[in-house]
Amino acid sequence: MPKITSDNVLEILGERVLPGKSATINFNMAKLYTTTSVEVPVIIERSKKPGPVVLMTAGIHGDEINGVEIIRQIISKGINKPQKGTIICIPVVNIFGFLNMAREFPDGRDLNRMFPGTKHGSLASRFAFQFVKKILPVVNFCLDFHTGGASRFNAPQVRVKKNDEQSIKFAHIFNAPFTVISKTITKSFRETCSKRGIPILLFEGGKSQDSNKDIARHGVEGAMRILNHLEMLSPKFEYPDAFTPTVIIENSSWMRAKYSGLLHVKVPCGKHVEKGEYLGTITDPYGKFRHKIKASNSGYVINVNESPIVYQGDAIFHISSIIKTDEEDRSA
């Protein structure tokens, strides 16, 4: 079991990391069928001063590049070197999927549906079990970075549980453009952290197999605001103030394609639209058919399907239906 000893030494993954030291430890618990080991780098930065342990993770889904880029920038700029406590960065949790630009583990399972895992289960389940056992027990706070699946582009957002006051407080501090109140998914990493009393913010932004500089900026700046609040951000960094309060999304619904065809999106993700506003068109390939898509209700477009081709029933626009700003939420 990982632990921090009475003399402030971090014991993790079979190694001892002293106060004020850095370490990169390879988390290796599985091999490919070629017997090739696949190692997951765990990058640790420690201050001489004791303090919280913050874990930053990305790439639980191997094809979600934006999260990887966010943590890469945090490491590259030295933001992960705390003035107190410890920051553990794992830019690519699912290194298997990352190598193949695939969402799943090699066994075809979604790692984010396998937590907390089992000792003798599938490959993904065993990995989740070892991750929870060998890393999570020393963690006090977690930032987990994701993107939309497939071609669905998420507006930058943080997801928290309803009535989870601690996580909602941190969401206000992170101050993504949107904060979405959502249930935890069964056997997800977020649910596992929540059940263990570890505050976690799940950041979503952009889409799979795509790197977006604006999404990365929101992620990096949000992480800096969290670290500043925890008094862990080095004073050499000017943490960005949040001039526009986050928009709280309590309810939302998907608009689905009424027809199959070519999708032409006409509004940017994140835009506030009015009921009946023109959002896009669906056409056939032959120039004979054209269907205008109009907003089913007023609200913010928090997810857009950017696939050029859709089938009838596919989710195309995700629109909020009840909104609050951060300031309105605090005064309620």
The two counts, helices (H) then strands (E), for the chain are 7, 19
Intervals of the chain under pLDDT 70: 323-332
Strand locations in the chain (E): 3-4, 10-12, 15-17, 22-27, 40-46, 53-58, 86-90, 141-148, 152-160, 178-181, 200-207, 247-256, 261-265, 272-273, 278-283, 290-294, 299-305, 309-310, 315-325
Pairing of strands 141-148, 200-207: parallel
Q: Are 96 and 65 in contact (CB under 8 A)?
A: no
The model scores a pTM over 0.85: yes
The pLDDT, as a whole number, for residue 159 is: 98
Question: Coil, strand or helix: which one is 233?
Answer: coil
Write the pLDDT tens digit of every residue in 67-86.
999 999 999 999 999 999 99
The pLDDT, as a whole number, for residue 330 is: 41
What structural domains does the chain harbor? 3-229 (3.40.630.10), 252-331 (2.40.50.100)
The sign of the CA dihedral 5, 231, 24, 139 is positive
- Using CA atoms, how far apart are residues 113 and 239, in angstroms rounded to an integer? 34
Under 8 Å CB-to-CB from 181, ≥6 apart: which residues? 159, 160, 161, 162, 248, 249, 250
